[in-house]
Structure 1
Amino acid sequence: MRRFHCTCGQEVMFEDSECSACGQLLGFNPETLEMLAVFADEGEELMFGDDGSLRPCALRDHPVACNWLIPAVDEHTQCRSCRLTRTIPAQTTPINVQRWNILETAKRRLVYSLLWLGLPVVDREEDPDVGLAFDFLEDQRTNPLVKKQVVLTGHNDGVITLHAIEADDVHRVKAREQMNERYRTVLGHMRHEIGHYYWDKLIRNSDWYPRFRRLFGGEEYYRQALDYYYTYGPAPNWGSRHISAYASAHPWEDWAESWAHYLHIMSTLETATGFGVLPQADVYSSDFHVLMQKWEQLTVLMNSLNRSMGMPDAYPFWLTPQVIVKLRFIHQVIAATAEK
C-alpha cells in the first residue's frame, strides 16, 4: 500500500474519509489509486476530484464506511469494490454490522492490490457466468434462522464465499490453533480464494498451463486429496516444497497459497517503499531474485519489530528455493497479464 496525504500535507490512511488535521473530506479513486479531496458540496451531494467528476460510494455514510469514489456519470450507486459483494450477513444482528465492515475493509485492500498489479477485476454484471462476486454467509452455528448447517470458505466459478464469523478475532485465533496454522486473517482468506479465481482466468486453458503442471503438479482427484489431508495431515517434508502445510494438500491449494503470499509480499514491499525502507525501484524490479532478497531483509526487520513488542512474528514463513520458483512463476503470469 502506498502512502497518502491530504491537501494540507497531513498523512492519511487508506481507510480515511476525513483528514484528522484539517477536517478535509477525502475519497479514494480506484481508477488512479489516489486519495482526493472534496471538490464541492452541492446540497447533500459531495463531488470529488479537481473537476468534481467523482462522487462517493453509497456506503460512505454507513457502518461499512466506504471511502471509495465513482465517476459522476456512472449509473451504479456503489463503488467497484462494494458492488462485488453479492450477499451480506443479516444486519438485524448487531454484531453482523461490525462483521460486514471488517469484511468490506479487507476486500477494499484486496481490490486495491489487484488494480495496482494490473489484474482484471470483472464483476458478475460484466460476466454473469464466472464474474467475481463475494458471499458473506452465516450458518446455524452463528444464526439459527438460516438453513445452512455449515458454511465453508471457498471459491466456485468466480463466487468467493467467506463465513462472516471470520471477522471475529476470537474465532480466528481459536480456528488457527485448532488447525495448527501460522497465519489466519480475513485479508489472507480473500487473497487465497482470489488465487483460485485467477487460476481459472489466467492458467486454465492457457499457454501457462503446462508449466503450472510441471511446477505444482496435476490437479486431478481434488476432493480425495483434501479428504486425505484432513484425515492424515500434511506430508512430513511439506516445508521443503510448500509455503504452508495446507499448500501440500493439492496443486490447486498450493497455487492459491502461493498466490496469497505473492500478494502479501508485493503489498508489504509497496508499503515499505512508500515509507523509504526500500529504494523506490526495488518493488518494480524485473529481477525477481533481487525482489526476494529485499523481502527476506524486510521480514527480518518486521519480525524483529514484532518481537520487540512481545508479539508473534508478522511473517512466520520461510521461502525455500522450490517455493521461490513458484512465486517467480506467479510474478511472470501477473506481469504478462498487466502488459496486455
Structure 2
Amino acid sequence: MKRFYCTCGQEVMFEDSVCPACGQMLGFNPEGLEMLAVFADGEQALRFGNDGGWLPCALRDHPIACNWLVREDDEHEQCCSCRLTRTIPTQTVPINVQRWKILEAAKRRLVYSLLWLGLPIVDREQDPAMGLVFDFLEDQRTNPLVKKRVVFTGHKEGVITLHAVEADDVHRIQAREQMNERYRTVLGHMRHESGHYFWDRLIRHSDWHPRFRRLFGSEENYRQALDYYYTYGPPPNWVSRHISAYASAHPWEDWAETWAHYLHIMSTLETANAFGVLPQADVYSSDFQVLMQKWEQLTVLMNSLNRSMGMPDAYPFWLTPQVVVKLRFIHQVIAASTRR
C-alpha cells in the first residue's frame, strides 16, 4: 500500500479520518487512491478535496468508521466499498458491532488492492445475477436467535459469504490449529474468495480457460473433491505443487489460494516499495521474475524481523517452481484484464 500524508506533512495511516498532528479531517479518495483533506469553504456540509467535490461515506460517523469518500454527483450515499455489503451481522448483539467494523476494514483493503491493480469490480447493481456482493452472516453456533444452523465462508455467483465470527481472533486461532493451517486472517479470507469471483469473471468462458486447465486441472467434481479432501487430507506431495494444503483439494481452490497469495505479494511489495525497503520504480509494471526475486528478499527480511521479536514467520510459505508458474499465469491474466 502507498504512504499517505496530511496537508500539514504528517504521515497518516490508511484508516485515519483525522490527522493526529493537526486535527484536520481526512478522507480516502478511491479513484485517485489518495488521502484528501476537508474542504474549508465556510459551508456546514462536510466536503473534501481542493474543489470540495467529494463527500464522506454515509458510514463515516458510524461505529465502523469508514473514512472513504463518494463523489458529490454520485447517487449513492455509501462509498464503493461499503455498498458492496448486502448483509451485516445482527447489530443488537454488542460484539457484532466490532465484528462488522473489522470485516469492513479488511474489505476496504481488498477493494484498494483491486482498484490499484485496475481489476473490474462489477457490483450487484451493474449485474444483478453475478455482481460482487458480501454477506456477513451468523449461525446458531454463535447466535441462537438466527435461523441459519450453519454458515460457511465461501463464494457463489458473485456472493462472498463470511461467517462474522472470523473477525474474532480467538476463533481464528482455534480454527487455524484445528485445520492445521499456516495462515488465517480476515483479509486472507476475502482475498481467497475474491479469487473465486474473478475466476468467474476472467477465466470461465474465456480464452484463458484451456491454459487454466493445463496448469490447475479440470474443475469438474468439485463437491466430491472437497469431501475427499476433508476425509483423507491432502496428498503427500502437495508441497511441491500447491501453495497450501487446501489448494490441493480442487483446481478452483488451487486458483483461489494462489490468487490470494498473488494479492498478498503485490500489496506487500507495494508497501515495501513505498517505504524504500526494496526500491523499485513501479512494482505493478515490473517484470514478473523481478517481482519474485524482490518477494524472496522481502520474505526473508519479514520473517527474520518476526523471529527477532519471538513471533511466528510473517509469511510461512515456500514458492516452489510449479507454484511460481501458477502465479505467473495469474499475473498475466490480471495484466490482460487491467483497466490501468
TM-score normalized by the length of structure 1: 0.98
- Residue 87 of structure 2 corresponds to 87
Unmatched 5+ stretches in structure 2: none
Once the two structures are TM-superposed, the CA of residue 178 in structure 1 deviates from its matched residue by: 0.2
- Alpha-carbon displacement from aligned partner over 1:133-179 (angstroms, at most 9, x marks no partner): 00000000111111111100000000000000000000000000000
Contact conserved, 1:285 with 1:291, CA < 8 A, in 2?
Answer: no
Tell me if 1:218 matches 2:218.
yes
Cα distance in 1 for residues equivalent to 2:337 and 2:154: 24
- Residue 188 of structure 1 corresponds to 188
Contact conserved, 2:5 with 2:35, CA < 8 A, in 1?
Answer: yes
Tell me if 1:69 matches 2:78.
no
- Residue 11 of structure 1 corresponds to 11
- Alpha-carbon displacement from aligned partner over 1:229-254 (angstroms, at most 9, x marks no partner): 00000001100000000000000000
Secondary structure of the structure 2 residue equivalent to 1:40: coil
Once the two structures are TM-superposed, the CA of residue 41 in structure 1 deviates from its matched residue by: 6.4
Most deviating of 265-274 and 36-45: 36-45
- Residue 115 of structure 1 corresponds to 115
- Residue 300 of structure 1 corresponds to 300
- Residue 262 of structure 2 corresponds to 262
Contact conserved, 2:19 with 2:25, CA < 8 A, in 1?
Answer: yes
Tell me if 1:96 matches 2:96.
yes
The alignment-based identity, stated in percent, is 84
The 5-angstrom pairing of residues 1-340 of structure 1 reads 1-40=1-40, 44-281=44-281, 283-339=283-339
Contact conserved, 2:64 with 2:100, CA < 8 A, in 1?
Answer: yes
Letter in 2 for 1:177: E
Consecutive aligned runs of 4 or more in structure 1 exceeding 3 Å deviation: 41-44
Cα distance in 2 for residues equivalent to 1:99 and 1:42: 37
Once the two structures are TM-superposed, the CA of residue 278 in structure 1 deviates from its matched residue by: 1.5
Secondary structure of the structure 2 residue equivalent to 1:22: coil
- Alpha-carbon displacement from aligned partner over 1:272-305 (angstroms, at most 9, x marks no partner): 0000011232513442111101100000000000
Contact conserved, 1:28 with 1:34, CA < 8 A, in 2?
Answer: yes
Letter in 2 for 1:94: P
Closer, same or farther: CA 339–137 of 1 in aligned 2, 3 Å: closer
Contact conserved, 2:107 with 2:190, CA < 8 A, in 1?
Answer: yes
Contact conserved, 1:141 with 1:150, CA < 8 A, in 2?
Answer: yes
Secondary structure of the structure 2 residue equivalent to 1:48: coil
Cα distance in 1 for residues equivalent to 2:191 and 2:69: 23
Count of residue pairs brought into register by the alignment:
340
